[in-house]
Amino acid sequence: MKHYFDPDGIEFTADCQESVDTFNSLVDAYMGFRPETGNILKSLLKADPDMPMALCAKGYFAKLIGSASHSERALAIAEKLKTLLNTCNANSREQLHGQALDQWSRGNLDLATEVWEQILVRWPLDGMALKLSHFTHFYSGDGRRTRDSIARVLPLWEKDHRNYGYLLGMYSFGLEEAGEYLEAERYGRMAVERNPSDSWSVHAVAHVMEMTGRHVEGIEWIEALKPHWSRANNFRFHLYWHQCLFHIERGEFNEVLSIYDEQIVSDIESEFYLDMCNATSLLWRLEMCGIDIGDRWGRLAQISKGHINDTDLIFTSLHYLMALISGNDEEGVERMMQTIGNWAIDGSTQGKVTAEVGISLAEGLFHARNKQYRLAMEKIESVRYTMDLIGGSKAQRDVFHMIMLDAAKASGNHYKARALFTDRISHKAHSNWSWQGYSEILSAMGWEKMAAEATQSAMAIRADS
Ligand SMILES: [Fe+2]
């Protein structure tokens, strides 16, 4: 094994220069959510099975899938990598990557993130470390960390670097999650202008439109760029999910059901966690809008059965739980609640989050589906201001806030429901669903004039207004 350099001056231990070039293609494909990413890695490992960064990437990608079986594989790869790093004269950056994989595969997501940040301080052009830390900052639920991780390196990249556009998009997303919507849109649009196939950047701008209530513009944005982003890997289904959120607020439920059937669940048997998050959260939202979703929960519950023992991301597990609860799989729910209970005391990064907020959210979902509305509301409200810890985006987490409000409305405690809907519409004034719920509560309390005004506000947002 010798040492070679990539065009950014980053050193790799490998059999030949070609391996380093292929590794860079791998990073490019990963940043672009391109479907050939897995095949590039396979061919690299075939050609250079002992290249430390190739093996490390194999472990990282196993963790990114986010299921128990893949996590077990990642743990075995981390062990193998340790041995390899000790025998192949690997450099200090590669050693750090080995540590990051080791920490991540043992559940220490926070420590893995620290290692990637350590790498980036010294090697700010390490695209793999940057993209992975972007992912884990996202699952720390802190938009400022997501934003600043990119801000620290962005000026150090040449503007004509082949992956500079991806950084603009990542920065855009961090800004959006930090609530800086104007800047987020500016960076996101710059990224898409460079490369309209950059689905993460298209997505970042869609988030801005979601948060600022620009439903029509959001649909147009996603539709216009569809020929580009629809070539992405399964991440493309998340863009369809965003399109559905806009349609829901416009009351275009037939469109949502069509997109659900034709796109969102078209590869739902894949092991990719995000596919199930998209599907379950969409169905629950539709039901809260009073839409009959037929027997669609059954298939999702069946798939979720295979993920009862997952302990990767509590955000994901809560979505599997939604399906098990809604599919009336009592045994599955019981087992999953046990997994979540054990997870909360295992000392891992996500275990701590599970203890702090995950259990309450899980119980809230359970009570909501079992029509124990007061309990559901109380459980979710108890973690209302701390639930960001589960990660995911603000748009994704909103489903839990909506479930809390829905439960409050059904609980019979009109005063409480009115209070919660009143504060909701102050920061979600563009939400048809929120105005509609507010109107129902006001009407139930005999505040007919205000209820009528709230209905008007709801109707003004709908497509059929
Ligand atoms: Fe998103």
CA of 185 to the centre of ligand 1 (A): 14
Residues 206-224 have a mean pLDDT of 97
Q: 141-233: same fold as 1-140?
A: yes
Q: Which tens digit of pLDDT belongs to each residue from 433-445?
A: 999 999 999 999 9
Q: What sign does the dihedral 100-101-107-109 (CA atoms) show?
A: positive
Q: Which fold has domain 1-140?
A: 1.25.40
- The lowest-confidence range among 63-77, 155-169, 330-344 is 63-77
Query: Can you give the pLDDT at residue 66?
Result: 82
Is the distance from CB of 403 to CB of 288 less than 8 angstroms?
Answer: yes
Residues 153-170 have a mean pLDDT of 98
Query: Can you give the pLDDT at residue 1?
Result: 77
Query: Can you give the pLDDT at residue 396?
Result: 98
CA of 238 to the centre of ligand 1 (A): 6
DSSP 8-state secondary structure symbol assigned to residue 154? G
| Burial status of residue 196 (CB atoms within 10 A of its CB: 0-12, 13-18, 19 or more) | middle
Query: Can you give the pLDDT at residue 168?
Result: 98
Where are the extended beta strands (E) located within 248-333? Answer: none
Give CA–CA dist 3/123, Å, rounded.
16
CA of 88 to the centre of ligand 1 (A): 40
For 105, residues 6+ apart whose C-beta sits below 8 A from its C-beta are 59, 63, 71, 74, 75, 77, 78
**pLDDT above 90 for 278:** yes
CA of 450 to the centre of ligand 1 (A): 34
Query: Can you give the pLDDT at residue 10?
Result: 97
Query: Residue 452 has which token pair?
Result: 């009528």
Is the distance from CB of 173 to CB of 33 less than 8 angstroms?
Answer: no
Query: Can you give the pLDDT at residue 65?
Result: 87
**pLDDT above 90 for 415:** yes
Transcribe 8-62 into DSSP letters: TS-EEEESSHHHHHHHHHHHHHHHTT-TTHHHHHHHHHHH-TT-HHHHHHHHHHH
H/E segment holding residue 281: helix 273-288
Binned at pLDDT 50, 70 and 90, residue 464 comes out as: confident
Burial pattern 13-24, b for ≥16 Cβ within 10 A else e, equals bbbeeebbbbbb
CATH number for the domain formed by residue range(s) 141-233: 1.25.40.10
CA of 319 to the centre of ligand 1 (A): 15
Give CA–CA dist 107/313, Å, rounded.
10
pLDDT cut 70: percent of the chain above it: 100
CA of 413 to the centre of ligand 1 (A): 33
Query: Can you give the pLDDT at residue 443?
Result: 97
| Burial status of residue 68 (CB atoms within 10 A of its CB: 0-12, 13-18, 19 or more) | middle
Q: Which tens digit of pLDDT belongs to each residue from 77-105?
A: 999 999 999 999 899 999 999 999 999 99
CA of 196 to the centre of ligand 1 (A): 17
Q: Which tens digit of pLDDT belongs to each residue from 365-390?
A: 999 999 999 999 999 999 999 999 99
Residues 388-401 have a mean pLDDT of 97
Query: Can you give the pLDDT at residue 271?
Result: 77
CA of 203 to the centre of ligand 1 (A): 6
Q: Which residue has the tokens 């399906």?
A: 323
Q: With the CA atoms of 112, 116, 121 and 126 taken in that order, what torsion angle do they form, in degrees rounded to the nearest 10?
A: 170
Q: Which residue has the tokens 């600043």?
A: 148
Q: Which tens digit of pLDDT belongs to each residue from 286-326?
A: 999 999 999 999 999 999 999 999 999 999 999 999 999 99
Give CA–CA dist 353/343, Å, rounded.
9
Query: Can you give the pLDDT at residue 219?
Result: 98
Residues 328-333 have a mean pLDDT of 97
CA of 240 to the centre of ligand 1 (A): 10
**pLDDT above 80 for 465:** no
3-state secondary structure of 320: helix
Give CA–CA dist 65/202, Å, rounded.
22
| Burial status of residue 113 (CB atoms within 10 A of its CB: 0-12, 13-18, 19 or more) | buried
Euclidean distance between the first and the last CA atom of the chain, given in angstroms as a whole number: 68
Give CA–CA dist 217/15, Å, rounded.
50
Residues 154-170 have a mean pLDDT of 98
Is the distance from CB of 433 to CB of 289 less than 8 angstroms?
Answer: yes
Q: With the CA atoms of 263, 268, 270 and 273 taken in that order, what torsion angle do they form, in degrees rounded to the nearest 10?
A: 100
CA of 242 to the centre of ligand 1 (A): 7
Is the distance from CB of 237 to CB of 206 less than 8 angstroms?
Answer: no
Hey, where are the domains in the chain? 1-140, 141-233, 412-461
Residues 7-31 have a mean pLDDT of 97
| Burial status of residue 294 (CB atoms within 10 A of its CB: 0-12, 13-18, 19 or more) | exposed
pLDDT cut 90: percent of the chain above it: 96
CA of 46 to the centre of ligand 1 (A): 34
Residues 223-251 have a mean pLDDT of 96
Q: With the CA atoms of 95, 97, 103 and 108 taken in that order, what torsion angle do they form, in degrees rounded to the nearest 10?
A: 140
Binned at pLDDT 50, 70 and 90, residue 348 comes out as: very high
Query: Can you give the pLDDT at residue 68?
Result: 86
What's the full length of the chain, in residues? Answer: 465
Transcribe 346-381 into DSSP letters: S-SHHHHHIIIIIHHHHHHHHHHHTT-HHHHHHHHH
Binned at pLDDT 50, 70 and 90, residue 272 comes out as: confident
Binned at pLDDT 50, 70 and 90, residue 118 comes out as: very high
CA of 393 to the centre of ligand 1 (A): 6
CA of 235 to the centre of ligand 1 (A): 10
